[in-house]
Structure 1
Amino acid sequence: MHARAVAASTTALLGTAALLLPLVPARAAGHTGPHPVVVAHRGASAYAPENTLAAVDKAAALDVEWVENDVQRTRDGELVVLHDDSLQRTTDVEEVFPDRSPWKVKDFTAAEIARLDAGSWFGPAYVGTRVPTLEQFLERMERHDQKLLLELKNPQLYPGIERETLKVLGNEGWLDPGHVGGRLVVQSFSADSVRTVHTLKPAVRTGLLGTPPVADLTAYAAFADQINPSHGSLSAPYVAAVRSLRGPHGARMEVLTWTVNDAAAARRVAGFGVDGIITNTPDVVRDAVGG
C-alpha cells in the first residue's frame, strides 16, 4: 500500500445502493475480542520476499491467520500477486529483459513473469522464488487455512480487474459462504473499484484504503465494510467516527491500519480502538497488542 490520497471520484459517491444479500456475522474480519486482528502485510514480508508463497508460508509458521496481498494483471490477462506496477524493484527483470524498460507488469505475459527471480533481492536463501499467480497464492493460503485481505492494485490500469478477480476467487472456492463470511475482504484505494466489487458480489466484504474526510464516511458506508488508513493519519476520534457507522452488511464499520512494524506504534493504534493492524512484522505486533 502507498500513503496517498484515496482515489475517490465524484461518481463513487453517487448512484443507488447495491442490493444486499443476507447479513454476514458482525465482526467477520476476525476481531472478536479486545485485541486487534494482526494481518501479515504482503505476507510476513519482514522475513521473506513480499507477496510470494514463501511470505505466505512464513506467516503460517508464525501462526498468523490473516495475509494481505496485491493483485495486478499481465498483458495476456493473468492475475499475479505483485505490489508495484513495475517488475523492477522485486525481480531480476532488468537482467532477463534488458530492452523492455520501464518493465511494467501490464507489458509482460504471465509466462515471461514466471521466468523471473522474485527472491534474490531479499536474500540468498530465496534465490529462484517466483512471482505467484493469484491462483497459486490462493491455493497456498487454503493449504494453511489462512484468511485473505486482497488489494486490487492500480485498478485504473486494468479495466475489468474487479470482475476478473472475483472470477478467480470463485473458481478457487473463495466465494462460498465459509470464505465470504469470515476469510475474505477485498480492498482498494479506488472507491469506484470497491463499489464495483460490492455491486458485482454484494456478499463480499470490502475495504476502502485511505483516510477520507469524516463528512464522506456515510456515503462510503453504502458499499465499504472497512476504512483502512495509514497509521500516521489516525486518531482516536477518527476511528470512533468510522466505527459509529454501519456498513453494507449491517455490521459496524471496521478500521484496519497500515503499515505498523514496531511495538510502540502498535500499542498506540490499538489504543485508538482499531479492529486490525497490518504489519510486515506480525510477531512483533502480536506480542505488543495480543490478537
Structure 2
Amino acid sequence: MLRLTRFLLIPLLLIGAVVLLLALTSKPASTPAVLDDLGQHPLVIAHRGGAGLWPENTLFAFERAAALGVDMLEMDLHLSRDARLVVIHDDTLERTTNGQGPVAQFNLAELQALDAGYQWTADGGQSYPYRGQGTRIATLEEVFQRLPLMPKVLDLKVPDVGMEAVLCEMLAAYDQLDRVIVGSFHERSLQRFRQLCPEVATSAGPISVRLLLALNWLGLSDVLSPSYSALQIPPQHSGLTLATPRLVRNAQTRGLHVQLWTINEQPEMRRLLEMGANGLITDYPDRALQLFGRSTQLGALPTD
C-alpha cells in the first residue's frame, strides 16, 4: 500500500511543481496600440461593416459604419487569382454578388466588374435596393486608402496561399501596423503571420481558444502566457456555452480583450456587457450604439 501511495504521489507532485512554475513565470498579454487608443469603454465592432444594414464587406458599408460612429470595422480577406487582397467573406461569389464560382479563380478586374450589392435584402427578398448602384468588391488597399485611421479587425479566410506575407507587407506600406487586429480560423496561417509581423496584434486561433477553455475549466488560467491580444468567440458554439463570467474574468486577467460575435439583439448585448465583455461584433452596430447611449445618426461621409 505504501509503495502504491508513493507511485501515485510522485507524479502528482511533479505535475504540481510544473503548474506552479508555469504560474510563476507566466505573463499576461500587453495591450496593443490599436486597443489602447480606443480607451476603456466597450467597443462596437461592425461585423463585415454592418451586414444587416448594407451590403457586407464593401466600401459603402465601411464608410457608413465609420460615419455612424463605430469603434472598429471587421472584414474578411481572400486572394484574387492575381494575388490581390480582396474583401469578401465566402470562398465563392454566389451569396453576395451576381457572379458565380470561387473567388480565387478570378483576377481583380473580373471581381470588381461584379455587383457586390446584388443579393442584399432587408425584407427576405421582396426588394434588392442596392442592385445596380455600382457597389463593388473592395480591395484591402482601397479600404486603407479611404479609411486610414479607422481601427480594423482582419480575418484571413484562406490558409496556405501566401496571404500572410502579402498582408504583412501591405500593413507596413500603409502605416496600418498599429491599427489592426488580425485573426483566422486557420491556426497555421495565424502562426505564420505572427512570425512575419510580430508587432501586429492578433486574436486567438482555434487551438488557442480550446486551450484557454480547457485551462479555465481546470482552474489553471494563471499558467497561460498568451501570444495574442484579443479573444474573439461566440457566446455559444455547438450547443456549448463558451462565454461565461468566469471565462471573461480569467481571460481579462491574462490581459485579453474579450470580443463576442455575432451579437445582433439588444437583450443579448446587454447581458454580455453585464458579464464584462470588452466589445460586441455585430451586424447591427446602430443597435449597440443605441444601447450605449451613443449617437446613431450618420455623420459626414467622405467624398470621392
Shared fold (TM-score, shorter chain, > 0.5) = yes
- The CA RMSD over aligned residues, in Å, is 2.3
Distance apart, 1:159 and its partner CA = 2.4
**Structure 2 residue identity aligned to 1:65:** D
CA distance in 2, matches of 1:218, 1:153: 31
Which has the higher Rg, Structure 1 or Structure 2? 2
Deviations 1:80-118 (A, max 9, x none): 000001111111114xxxxxxxx1111111121111111
Residues in 2 aligned to 1:229 and 1:69: alpha-carbon distance in whole angstroms: 15
User: Whole-Å Cα distance in 2 between the matches of residues 288 and 49 of structure 1?
Assistant: 23
Q: Paired residue for 1:223?
A: 227
Residue aligning to 1:105: 103
Query: Which secondary structure state, in structure 2, belongs to the residue aligned with residue 87 of structure 1?
Result: coil
Do the aligned partners of 2:43 and 2:71 also contact (CA within 8 Å) in 1?
no
Q: Secondary structure of the residue that 1:202 maps to in structure 2?
A: coil
Would the aligned equivalents of 1:78 and 1:133 in 2 still touch at CA under 8 Å?
Answer: yes
Show the counterpart of 1:99. none
Aligned to 1:13: none
User: Aligned to 2:195, which of 194, 199, 211?
Assistant: 199
Amino acid at match of 2:246: P
Distance 1:159 1:218, change over 3 A: farther
Displacement after TM superposition at 1:48 (Å): 1.1
Instruction: Look up the match of 1:148.
Output: 152
Task: Answer yes or no: is the 8 Å Cα contact 1:40–1:278 preserved in 2.
Answer: yes
The residue type paired with residue 203 of structure 2 is G
Superposed, which structure 2 residues align to 1:32-181 within 5 Å?
32-33=39-40, 35-94=41-100, 103-122=101-120, 123-127=128-132, 128-142=134-148, 145-155=149-159, 158-175=160-177, 180=178
Letter of the structure 2 residue corresponding to residue 89 of structure 1: R
Between the aligned residues of both structures, percent identity stands at: 34
Any gaps of 5 or more consecutive residues in structure 1? 1-22, 95-102, 246-251
In structure 2, give the amino acid aligned to 1:223: S
3-state SS of the aligned residue for 1:28? helix
- Is the CA contact 1:221–1:253 (under 8 Å) kept in the aligned structure 2? no
- Whether the 8 Å CA contact 1:266–1:289 is kept in 2: the answer is no
TM-score (norm 1): 0.77
Alignment: residue pair count: 244
Shift of the 69–219 alpha-carbon distance from structure 1 to 2, 3 Å rule, reads: farther
Q: Is the 8 A contact 1:267 1:289 kept in 2?
A: no
AA matched with 2:231? I
Report the residue type matching 1:276 in the other structure: G
Please tell me whether the aligned partners of residues 81 and 131 of structure 1 are also in contact (alpha carbons under 8 angstroms): yes
Closer, same or farther in 2 for the Cα pair 1:62/1:151, shift >3 Å?
same
Following TM superposition, the consecutive aligned residue runs of length 4 or more in structure 1 with deviations greater than 3 angstroms are 23-27, 215-222
Contact kept, 8 Å, 1:257 with 1:278, in 2: the verdict is: yes
- Contact 1:209 1:229 (8 Å CA) reproduced: no
Change beyond 3 A, Cα 1:92–1:125:
closer
Give the distance between the partners of 1:73 and 1:26, measured in 2 at CA. 27
Q: Cα distance, 1:202 vs. partner? A: 1.6
Contact residue 36 and residue 290 of structure 1 kept, 8 A: no
Query: Does the Cα contact within 8 Å between 1:259 and 1:280 map onto a contact in 2?
Result: yes
Instruction: Please point out which of 232, 236, 239 is paired with 2:245.
Output: 236
Q: For residues 168 and 115 of structure 1, do their structure 2 counterparts lie closer, same or farther at Cα, with a shift above 3 Å needed? A: same
User: For 2:97 and 2:201, how far apart are their aligned partners in 1?
Assistant: 32
Contact 1:49 1:126 in 2 (8 A): no
2:56 partner letter = E
Amino acid in structure 2 at the alignment position of 1:197 = F
Contact 1:208–1:228 (Cα < 8 Å) also in 2: yes
